[in-house]
């Protein structure tokens, strides 16, 4: 059964000596880390290794955790730093901006949903690639990874307000880029009643 | 309950379409969140387009959960447990301490080395060497060594610093001993000597370089032992080697009275450069 405690409560329990809480944190965070790291490093074996390294680092850094801090941005930041180091060790000269934000999604057509949907996907992918890196990074973490602005702010060492502004500008620009690329696609241009 | 960005995302991806965006809690979140409002414009068209991308990539909770299987998670956790079980002993305990405490341990080792040299083989001109100049050299070399050590032990849960920061510290750390070596002696108190130059240049320079490197290696060993894994990155490893080199230069400064620039530039200043370069070569 899933542990009802929050990530932070689990971390506090782990610090208090509850080893089951560490398992709880792993069950809670590892799936998201796997998705992030698979997208980031590509190779399954590397993603596995990095997930394990991330939790080892979490264990080593446990005494740095302070009440009031949030666990998820902490863990995701460790994973991203380890992935960056791995990329450098493997001699990738410079990761592409898109890969750096872990949004390396494959825009190839998906037969099941037809060509129209595949076109949509490619357009969104291309539009995302045109965003400035800092806006894209925030959008990936906010939309694709479901992190809150507060969590993203902690990860990027920025204020939540700055992150929120970046996200707003990024979404606005993305919407305009998609509009310029043609309306159409699903024929569902409805009203604009925000 | 007020909806969060995540609720809005779910609403945009739900089959209920526009109606789900008009739910009171979602509407109230949209009124206060510019980013989500942008996503919801045109009936959530952008949100749905992004959702299609996420689903297509088989990621996120936007529709398809392509996370690891239970068996995969079990196998991963077994690996984590094995790693954690190996994390025992005094060094593991030191590794689990804060960055500040680990840098303090490094500082303590540098002080110990300095005290050993001053106690056993101090420079013969210690009594007449200009005190301010001496204090400035010790403070600059020691301070730069600790700055490099601090950067090399930066916790992985902290956002990565821009690469120019570590590059800047490396360049400054390598350049500093050379700049100090080129400073003219204070003529009133400490005139320029020619000992250790000419035919003796290589011999004396090598001796100082070897002493500095030996002292530096001990500092690097401690930095490596207290590192939590960040030294996988070339920049952090180089910073650790540089910290050792600067500590070595500091110790040599406390030991060697030769002050001719040729000797200083060949025997004292290159310790950091030598260790950083050797370390980089060893890592290849």
Residue A93 is predicted with a pLDDT of 43
Question: Would residue A193 count as lying in a domain?
Answer: no
* Weakest mean pLDDT among A28-37, B133-142, B215-224, B239-248: A28-37
Residue B56 is predicted with a pLDDT of 55
- Comparing B106 with B258, the larger pLDDT belongs to B106
Over range A91-114, report the average pLDDT. 42
pLDDT digits 0-9 by tens, A46-70: 889 999 999 999 999 998 988 888 8
Question: Would residue A194 count as lying in a domain?
Answer: no
The H or E element containing residue B277 is helix B271-283
Indicate whether B120 pLDDT > 60: yes
CATH of residue A52: 1.10.1740.10
Question: Would residue A115 count as lying in a domain?
Answer: yes
A14 interfaces chain B, CB cutoff of 8 Å: no
pLDDT digits 0-9 by tens, B34-75: 888 888 887 777 887 787 776 555 444 333 335 678 888 899
Long-range interactions of B128-131: CB distance < 8 A, separation 24+: B128/B189, B128/B190, B129/B189, B129/B190, B129/B257, B130/B186, B130/B189, B130/B190
pLDDT digits 0-9 by tens, A4-33: 788 899 999 999 989 899 999 999 999 888
The answer on A76 and A103 residing in a single domain is: no
Indicate whether B85 pLDDT > 90: yes
Indicate whether A142 pLDDT > 70: yes
The answer on A177 and A87 residing in a single domain is: no
The answer on A105 and A91 residing in a single domain is: no
How much is the ipTM here?
0.72
Asked if A77's CB is within 8 angstroms of B95's CB, the reply is no
Residue B170 is predicted with a pLDDT of 94
The answer on A15 and A84 residing in a single domain is: yes
Average pLDDT, chain B: 84
Indicate whether A121 pLDDT > 60: yes
Instruction: Find which of B9, B26, B157, B239 to mutate to test the A interface (most A CBs within 10 Å of its CB).
Output: B157
Domain boundary among A77, A95, A113: A95
Q: What are the domain boundaries of chain B?
A: 5-56, 69-93, 98-283
Residues of B whose CB is below 8 A from A185:
49
* Weakest mean pLDDT among A42-56, A134-148, B103-117: A134-148
| Of B39, B67, B68, Cβ closest to residue A171 | B39
For the ranges A82-96, A107-121, B49-63, B232-246, the one whose mean pLDDT is highest: B232-246
Average pLDDT, chain A: 76
Q: Which residue has the tokens 């009203």?
A: A191
The answer on A82 and A6 residing in a single domain is: yes
DSSP 3-state percent helix, strand, coil across chain B (nearest 5): 70, 0, 30
Cα A57 to Cα B270: distance, rounded to the nearest angstrom: 34
CATH of residue A178: 1.10.10.10
The answer on A87 and A1 residing in a single domain is: yes
Domain boundary among A95, A112, A144: A95
Which residue range is the domain that position A4 belongs to?
1-95
Do the Cβ atoms of A139 and A68 come closer than 8 Å? no
Q: How far is A132 from chain B (nearest CA, A)?
A: 16
Beta strands in A99-146 (DSSP E): none
The answer on A114 and A88 residing in a single domain is: no
Q: How far is A22 from chain B (nearest CA, A)?
A: 10
Question: Would residue A58 count as lying in a domain?
Answer: yes
The answer on A117 and A90 residing in a single domain is: no
Cα A145 to Cα A140: distance, rounded to the nearest angstrom: 6
Residue B205 is predicted with a pLDDT of 92
Residue B44 is predicted with a pLDDT of 77
Residues of B whose CB is below 8 A from A109:
none
Indicate whether B193 pLDDT > 70: no
Asked if B46's CB is within 8 angstroms of A157's CB, the reply is no
The answer on A141 and A68 residing in a single domain is: no
Domain boundary among A53, A80, A95: A95
| Count of pairs with CB atoms under 8 A, one residue in A, one in B | 190
Question: Would residue A192 count as lying in a domain?
Answer: no
Q: How far is A164 from chain B (nearest CA, A)?
A: 7
Residue B196 is predicted with a pLDDT of 63
Indicate whether B260 pLDDT > 80: yes
Residues 6+ apart with CB under 8 A from B113: B215, B218, B219, B247, B251
The answer on A18 and A89 residing in a single domain is: yes
Nearest to A94 by CA among B163, B169, B239: B163
The answer on A110 and A43 residing in a single domain is: no
The answer on A115 and A135 residing in a single domain is: yes
Q: How far is B173 from chain A (nearest CA, A)?
A: 22
Instruction: Find which of A29, A59, A60 to mutate to test the B interface (most B CBs within 10 Å of its CB).
Output: A60
Do the Cβ atoms of A105 and A125 come closer than 8 Å? yes
């Amino acid at each position: 059964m899933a542990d009802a405690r929050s990530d932070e409560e689990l971390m506090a329990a782990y610090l208090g000596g509850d080893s089951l809480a560490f398992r709880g944190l792993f069950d809670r965070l590892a799936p998201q880390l796997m998705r992030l790291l698979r997208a980031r490093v590509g190779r399954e074996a590397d993603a596995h290794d990095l997930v394990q390294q991330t939790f080892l680092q979490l264990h080593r850094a446990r005494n740095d955790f302070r009440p009031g801090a949030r666990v998820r941005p902490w863990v995701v930041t460790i994973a991203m730093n380890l992935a960056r180091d791995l990329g450098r060790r493997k001699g990738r000269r410079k990761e592409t901006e898109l890969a750096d934000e872990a949004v390396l999604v494959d825009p190839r057509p998906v037969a099941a949903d037809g060509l129209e949907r595949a076109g949509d996907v490619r357009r969104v992918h291309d539009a995302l690639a045109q965003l400035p890196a800092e806006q894209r990074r925030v959008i990936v973490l906010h939309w694709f990874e479901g992190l809150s602005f507060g969590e993203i702010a902690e990860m990027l060492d920025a204020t939540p307000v700055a992150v929120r502004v970046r996200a707003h500008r990024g979404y606005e620009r993305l919407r305009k880029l998609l509009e310029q690329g043609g309306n159409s696609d699903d024929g569902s241009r409805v009203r604009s009643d925000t | 309950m007020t909806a969060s960005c995540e609720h809005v995302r779910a609403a945009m991806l739900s089959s209920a379409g526009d109606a789900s965006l008009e739910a009171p809690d979602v509407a109230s979140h949209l009124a206060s969140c510019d980013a989500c409002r942008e996503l919801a414009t045109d009936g959530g068209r952008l949100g749905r387009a992004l959702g299609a991308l996420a689903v297509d990539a088989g990621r996120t909770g936007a529709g398809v959960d392509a996370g690891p299987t239970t068996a995969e998670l079990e196998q991963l956790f077994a690996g984590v447990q094995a790693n954690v079980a190996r994390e025992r002993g005094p060094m593991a305990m030191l590794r689990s301490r804060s960055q500040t405490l680990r840098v303090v341990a490094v500082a303590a080792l540098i002080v110990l080395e300095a005290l050993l040299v001053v106690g056993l083989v101090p420079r013969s001109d210690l009594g007449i060497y200009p005190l301010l100049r001496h204090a400035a050299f010790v403070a600059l070399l020691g301070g730069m060594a600790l700055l490099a050590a601090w950067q090399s032990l930066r916790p992985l849960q902290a956002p990565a610093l821009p690469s120019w920061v570590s590059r800047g510290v490396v360049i400054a750390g390598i350049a500093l001993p050379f700049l100090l070596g080129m400073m003219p002696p204070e003529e009133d108190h400490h005139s320029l000597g020619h000992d250790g130059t000419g035919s003796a240049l290589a011999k004396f320079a090598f001796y100082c370089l070897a002493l500095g490197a030996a002292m530096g290696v001990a500092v690097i060993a401690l930095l490596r032992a207290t590192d939590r894994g960040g030294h996988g990155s070339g920049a952090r490893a180089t910073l650790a080697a540089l910290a050792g080199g600067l500590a070595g230069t500091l110790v040599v400064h406390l030991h060697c009275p030769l002050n001719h620039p040729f000797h200083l530039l060949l025997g004292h200043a290159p310790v950091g450069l030598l260790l950083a370069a050797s370390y980089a070569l060893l890592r290849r």
